[in-house]
Amino acid sequence: MNIRILISVLLLSLLSSLAIAQKDPVAEADQAFNAGEYYSAINLYKQAYLKVKENSKKAEVIYKTGLCYRKINDAPQAEVWFKKAVKVKYTNPLANLYFADALKQNEKYDEALIAYQDYLKLVPSDVRGKNGVESCELASKWKNKPSRYEVENMAFFNSRESDFSTTYAKKDYSIVIFTSTRMASAGTEVSGATGQSFADLYTATEDKKGKWSVPIPLTENVNSGHEEGTPSIASKGNNLFFTRCLVEKKVMNTCQIYSSVRKGVDWDVPVYLPIISDSVEAVHPSISEDELTLYFASSDIPGGQGGKDIWMISRPTAKDVWGAPINMGKEINTPGNEAFPNIREDGTLYFASDGHIGMGGLDIFKATKGKTDKWLVENMKYPINSASDDFGIVFEGAIEKGFFSSNRMGGKGMDDIYSFILRPIQFNLLGVVKNEKTGEILTGVTVKLIASDGVTQELKNEIDGSFKFRLKPNMDYVLTTIKEGFLNGKGKETTKGLDEDRDFNLTVTMAPIEKPIELENIMYDVKKWDLRPESMVSLDKLVEVLNDNPNVTIELRSHTDFRDEAAKNLELSQKRAQSVVDFLIERGIEPDRLIPKGYGESAPNIVNAKDAKSYVFLKEGDVLSEEYIKKLATVEEQEVAHQINRRTEFQVLRTDYKVAANPQTEETPKSDVQEREATPDVKTETTEPTPSETEGKVEEQ
């Protein structure tokens, strides 16, 4: 060929190539992006942005730069670039959605809420926008009210690079294997997708003092120049399942699941697990305890819900081949991404998702089978979850303790491993003892707490009248207070059905026994002594008081107003007192603990603080005598005074009553009536009663 013609052809070819390059300066960046080299693509897009002139192409470059930051989980930069894309009115509404997502991941929940609402104006039917709104509303509540899980960064495990996805490698949970991109990894190349070294599997051992060893990589039988990660081992610890992503010419190809058998202290050469086609992605394995079911994530298998989905395969025995993949269904999978499954011994499935309602990027979810055999999915909430990516949870057998991974702020590197443990529910009973009559604090009180399992606690209350007990879950409690000169106080609490920390506040009142104690709402029909039904509530409480104070004997006292003949009032009040005693005996109270006494109109009541507060025409301490009542200004005021005078009350006579162990063979203790008859010189309040200072209402004319 003529040399001039050849030169002309070469020049034309060069010019054509230059023209193509100048025509589409984002092509190289797109090529890196489509190959999954997001870290490399960021710089290429930024260079392309300086070259393109058209506003529409600039907007597209801005959007794709945001996508790259989203892919490498750099939420702060993703927020910056998606905000730019929204500002320049990029045509794809996903820019608005991803901007809202980035705001949420950066814990800007108020701004994110507005951004999700803006997105819903563009795409009203998208569940991602609706879930985003709900997520922002719930995330703040969850953070302000943390769960009982206690979380701690595992400094012994973590490096400045990414460390994540832990599994236990020994039945006693003293050995772990996890993923790391630290510089000591076997792969010497830097990933164009993450900007870090290729990941390898590392192991660490816990000694008897609870200290973890410095992590070391698994041998070259497992680790290679490719990417290895997300290990899973059943408690037997003989088969290791993990993800390997083959890398050729610095480009990551399809990721697949491999398995390796324990060989002495080492692992054998891994073998590829033919789940489906070798061109289909399968990652994040989790093997069941019997090693007959394997859970994993994939975005390539037909029939998924969108994004990455959780799938499962099973086999009849360990010697059989694996069956076809089964999608875990719409309860688990969403149009978003579900990944990093972990199946526990009891069949509970844990996984990470950005499609369910969560706090930020990936959240960890717990799924259990309901009565209808459908999965019930529950967010693990804060502090297991955060505004960042949280994933890769593993449990120490059946107890609520283990590890998970997160790229939350405050970590040591990119992704970090965190330990967690569920703190027991804390129930505290905080109480105070007071005088029922005066409201004053009582000290020197013996406080007994009896649980439904029979365990009894006892203490003296403090100088400020307070006491405190720690309560156990799912338990009923009865509390009794004891102090000389007072009836026993009582209280009840239960922790059954409660699953959150709680402080119970209880005020226990104790009635002094030196003065009569009035019974409220003891009702009779006019000039009758039969108890009306509404009286039963107050009398049932008296039965409870007598049962709680089995050592007391009491006098039941009945009073009338003066509006009838004194003799008739005395007779009526005696019959009414007897009706109360009869009721108590029917309820099982020993007869020799009860003495009925009618006082008629002979003991007018004394106005107490409560009545003085209720009726402005009465003053505390006034005696409601006939003379006093007749001086009241109106008939209505006089009727109030009569009502206060009509009352039924009881007075404690003794506190040393005892029932004979065997009444048929032992002498029955003298009743209070017998003892008083035998000692006529002993003064009692039955002949000179002290008017009650308490309130009560007895319907009587």
Confidence (pLDDT) at 509: 95
pLDDT in tens, 45-75: 999 999 888 899 999 999 999 999 999 889 9
Nearest-angstrom CA–CA distance, 657 and 672: 9
Query: Is the C-alpha dihedral spanning 612, 615, 617, 623 positive or negative?
Result: negative
Calculate the alpha carbon distances from 219 to 186, 240, 453 in Å: 9, 13, 54
Is there a common fold for 160-422 and 517-678? no
Q: Which fold has domain 517-678?
A: 60s Ribosomal Protein L30; Chain: A; (3.30.1330)
Confidence (pLDDT) at 701: 36
Confidence (pLDDT) at 413: 73
Q: What percent of the chain has pLDDT over 70?
A: 88
pLDDT in tens, 355-389: 999 998 999 999 999 888 899 999 999 999 999 99
Q: Which fold has domain 160-422?
A: Neuraminidase (2.120.10)
Judge whether residue 685 has pLDDT over 80: no
- Which CATH number fits the domain 427-510, given the four candidates 1.10.3730.10, 3.40.50.920, 2.60.40.1120, 3.40.50.9100? 2.60.40.1120
Residue-averaged pLDDT of the chain: 87
pLDDT in tens, 305-318: 888 999 999 999 98
Ordered alpha helix ranges (H), 499-565: 536-548
Q: Which fold has domain 24-144?
A: 1.25.40
Say which residue the tokens 């604090």 belong to.
441
Confidence (pLDDT) at 563: 87
Arithmetic mean of pLDDT, 129-146: 93
Please write down the HEC assignment for all residues of 444-478. Answer: CCEEEEEECCCCEEEEECCCCCEEEEEECCCCEEE
Arithmetic mean of pLDDT, 9-34: 60
Q: Are 173 and 406 in contact (CB under 8 A)?
A: no
Count of residues in the chain: 701
CB atoms within 10 A of CB 263: 12
Calculate the alpha carbon distances from 628 to 599, 622, 632, 698 in Å: 19, 8, 7, 20
Closest CA to 183 of 413, 375, 410, 10: 413
pLDDT in tens, 221-241: 999 888 899 999 998 878 999
Q: Are 367 and 349 in contact (CB under 8 A)?
A: yes
Confidence (pLDDT) at 252: 57
- Who contacts 345 (Cβ-Cβ below 8 Å, separation ≥6)? 235, 289, 397, 398
Arithmetic mean of pLDDT, 160-174: 94
Confidence (pLDDT) at 517: 82
Confidence (pLDDT) at 77: 95
DSSP letters along 163-226, please? EEEEEE-STTS-EEEEEE--TTSS--SBPTTTSSBPPEEEEEEB-TTSPBPPPEEPPTTT--SS
pLDDT in tens, 346-359: 999 999 999 999 99
Nearest-angstrom CA–CA distance, 251 and 485: 88
The packing angle between helices 566-586 and 536-548, to 10°, is: 60
Confidence (pLDDT) at 662: 55
Domain positions in the chain are: 24-144, 160-422, 427-510, 517-678
Confidence (pLDDT) at 700: 41
Lowest mean pLDDT segment, chosen from 12-16, 56-60, 67-71, 458-462: 12-16
Say which residue the tokens 């680790």 belong to.
223
Confidence of residue 19 (pLDDT cuts 50, 70, 90): very low
Judge whether residue 474 has pLDDT over 90: yes
Nearest-angstrom CA–CA distance, 417 and 575: 80
Q: What percent of the chain has pLDDT over 90?
A: 66
pLDDT in tens, 644-681: 888 889 899 988 898 765 545 444 444 443 443 333 33
- Who contacts 424 (Cβ-Cβ below 8 Å, separation ≥6)? 148, 473
Confidence of residue 454 (pLDDT cuts 50, 70, 90): very high
Confidence of residue 104 (pLDDT cuts 50, 70, 90): very high
pLDDT in tens, 598-617: 999 999 999 988 889 999 99
